[in-house]
Amino acid sequence: MLDFLTLLRENPYPGRGILVRRDLVYYFIMGRSANSRNRIFVKTEDGIRTEAHDPAKLEDPSLIIYHPVRTMGDALVVTNGDQTDTICQHGDFRKGLMTREYEPDEPNWTPRISAILNADGSFEMSILKHKNGRCLREFFCYEGCDENQGYFISTYQGDGSPLPSFAGEPMAVSVPEPEAVRAALNGGEDVRDLIDACGQVVLKREYYFSRRAIERAEKQAREVAAQAAAGKI
C-alpha cells in the first residue's frame, strides 16, 4: 500500500484524481490553463457541479463545466467529466461508460476516469483512454477494502508533452484525513478553511469530498470550534 500524501507530493501533475474507500470518496481537480483554473464546485440537490468563478473569463465550457458527483439511487457516482450524467441516464455504470470515450483534447486525449460507490461498501472504477487510435475501456471491481485503505486513479502519470495517461490498475493507498490531503494538493500550505462548501475558494488545485466525508469534516469543524471557544487552542 502506497502513502497517498507522498504520492501527491511527488507527482507534479496527476491532473484529476479519484480516491475511493468503502465509506468515502475524494475527488480533486488540477488546472494549468486560466480556463481550467476559473472554476469552483457548487452543491446541487444530488451532488456537485462545476461552474465558472468568473463567467466573463470563461473560454470553452465543454470540458470544464460538468457534474463530477451525482447520486444514483443509493450509490454515489464520481467522474472527471460529463460522463457522470451519461451513467445516471443509463442507470448503469458500465452501460453508460460503454457509450463514451476519452476526451477530444488532442494530443493529450485526456482519459475519462469514473467511480461508483455502492451502499454496501463495494465499488467499481474505470478509465477510458486513447490507445493506438482507439478507445481502451478498463473496469476494476472491488468488493470493498481494508480499514484506512482506498484505491486511487488519476488522469495522468505526471507532467509531460503530451501528458502521459494513467497506466495500470488503480493504486492501493492510505487514506489520510481531509486536512492532510488538501495541504498536500496545495503544496503544503496551511489551509484553514477545511471544507468550504466543496471548493468555494478558488485554488490552483481543488477537491471534492463525498457526502459522508463532508459530514465527518463538519463534525470535526464543530469540535475545533468548541475547543477554540473553550480556549483550548
Instruction: Give the range with max mean pLDDT: 46-55, 146-155, 211-220.
Output: 146-155
pLDDT tens, 92-132? 999 999 999 999 999 999 999 999 999 899 999 999 999 99
Q: Is the dihedral of CA 218, 42, 16, 138 positive or negative?
A: positive
Predicted pLDDT at 37: 73
Predicted pLDDT at 62: 82
Structure confidence at residue 218 as a pLDDT band (50, 70, 90): low
Q: For residue 72, give the CATH number of its domain.
A: 3.60.20.20
Q: How far is the C-alpha of 169 from the C-alpha of 226, rounded, in Å? A: 43
Query: What domain range includes position 141?
Result: 4-229
Stronger pLDDT, 186 or 84, i.e. the higher one: 84
User: What's the rounded mean pLDDT across residues 179-190?
Assistant: 68
Instruction: Read off φ and ψ for residue 42, nearest 5 degrees.
Output: -130, 135
What total number of domains does the chain contain? 1
pTM beyond 0.85: the answer is no
